[in-house]
Amino acid sequence: MNIKKIGILTAGGDCPGLNAVVRAVSKNALRQGVEVIGFKNGFDGVVRNEFIKITPDVVSGILTLGGTILGTSNIANPFKYTLPPFGTPEAPNDLSAVALHNFHANQLDALITIGGDGTLSMSQKFVELGMPIVAVPKTIDNDLSATDQTFGFDSALTVATEAIDRIHTTAQSHHRVMIIETMGRYAGWIALRAAIAGGGDIVLIPEIPYNDDVIVDYLLKRRAQGKNFSIVVAAEGAKNEQGEQAITRTVAASTDPIRLGGIAYKLSNMIEDRAKIESRACVLGHMQRGGTPTAFDRWLSTLYGAKAFDMVLEGKFGYMASFRNFGITEVKIADAVSQLKLVDPHGEEVKAALEVGMSFGSAQIG
């Protein structure tokens, strides 16, 4: 295809590796004489027509830089725009036509969008409106079924594992139960793999509902065996057998309005009340999103970015770059958002955790 100018944006939550993708896309395009602009703050920049011109100097030195030089937003949905002065949460506006106009006014031949399920869903809607889009998957939860792994996940997992390593010493010194809360709204990949890598004793994930009685019994049994401390790793989306989750607040304007958080504090109070064991909570939160990407994520992000521009040249619009069997291929965006990739309660990773003595806080699993 005769590609002369493309746009790129990063949307949704930030994570390590975003800049590496922007760099790979841009370097691949610029070396072939294609002009690149970067829209600011996700789709918000497309609506407001705010962007920067990307030159070799702009992407120089950003491979190891966390966050995103373009900025991002997880509430700027052009189809339900809620940001002033063009909309409010109470009266959202459909500004997709404005975004389409700005795309064409900038004489763009394609747009590369980098984001999670919300960004991919919006991208698919624009594809259906005729905008030529190639997508790159981004979510630290690693819950997109159309790709083996998303960039940012390895970095978040490394942070969570290091936190467990550090928590061990203070838990052992004070004979406490320490609860580490990780990200993971619908999928427990970070919590499960960090617990396995860090030697957690109990891991609670959204896919396996927990029971307070099972948790208390397990901790008391450890005490009776002379083990005077325990480590609990809980995904923020963990739920009990009644389906209850720890919710901090609701943000109506967001593409995902429920704000989860606080499961660690809820468990800590329950354990102290029922097991009479001193307990402390540690919420990792956005620390998992920040900082320098791991070597694996830099490598993976570069593969994703380079492939995304190749897909533009091949006219693979409406497709997403996908990491399969340690190689990069492509899948339809519509297929990528059709199903979440969840932990299999009866899969090999859960089986391995059980076989080394970990508990999932459930009488049904174990």
Q: Which residues participate in catalysis according to the annotation?
A: 141
Q: In what order do the strands lie in the sheet with 133-137?
A: 51-54, 35-39, 5-10, 110-115, 133-137, 319-324, 327-332
Whether residue 24 contacts residue 306, with contact meaning beta carbons closer than 8 Å, is answered with: yes
Q: How many CB atoms lie within 10 A of CB 128?
A: 10
d(CA 23, CA 70): 11
Number of alpha helices (DSSP H) and beta strands (DSSP E) in the chain: 12, 13
Residue 273, judged by CB atoms within 10 A of its CB (0-12, 13-18, 19+), counts as exposed
d(CA 268, CA 5): 54
d(CA 123, CA 12): 12
Concatenated DSSP letters of 206-255? TTS-B-HHHHHHHHHHHHHTT---EEEEEETT--BTT----EEEE-TTSS
Q: How many CB atoms lie within 10 A of CB 262?
A: 16
Helix (H, G, I), strand (E, B) or coil at 277: coil
d(CA 113, CA 6): 11
d(CA 344, CA 75): 31
List the one residue out of 157, 164, 161 whose CA is nearest residue 184. 157
